[in-house]
Amino acid sequence: MSHLRGLSAGSKLRAGLLVLAALFVLIQLVPYGRDHANPSVTRAVGFDSPRTERLVGEACNACHSNLTNWPIESNVAPTSWLIQRDVDTGRGILNFSEWDQPQAELNRVITAIKGGEMPPLQYKLLHPSARLSDADKADLIAGLTRTYGSDPPGP
């Protein structure tokens, strides 16, 4: 750090910004976070109503289906890493496009919705339609309860 002592504050700031810019460029080389594959739908869930399907589409499908619309920021690290992690994790827990596979227990889904964990804050900040009112949450929970009853997920 002794080599920085003789530099002015402006020079130090420019040097710091240059280092940050170089790091930003370097992290773009990390391949994780840009696998925007949407696997095939193996069996779509049979929702109980168009309202439930719409609520799931607005608040859940981006991470809990194979129908993800990848936003532009999903191509730029480190945001791409966060989005990819959320989608991978979401699909691993509950996937409305692979209803022929075991899925999260209904009680777990209801607890996440009631507790405000789903949809997560970072998603709601960028997607206003995912901000569910209390009435929307109640309708979603009731609809998912009926859906799980009439079209249970696979084994």
Transcribe 29-92 into DSSP letters: T--TT-----PPPSB----S-HHHHHHHHHHTHHHHSS-----GGGGSTTHHHHHHHHHHHHHH
Distance CA 25, CA 30 (A): 10
Residues 18-46 have pLDDT tens digits of: 888 888 878 777 777 667 889 999 999 99
- Record the pTM: 0.82
* pLDDT tens, residue by residue, 42-76: 999 999 999 999 999 999 999 999 999 998 888 88
**Which token pair is 99?**
């209803």
* Cross-strand bridge partners of residue 43: 98
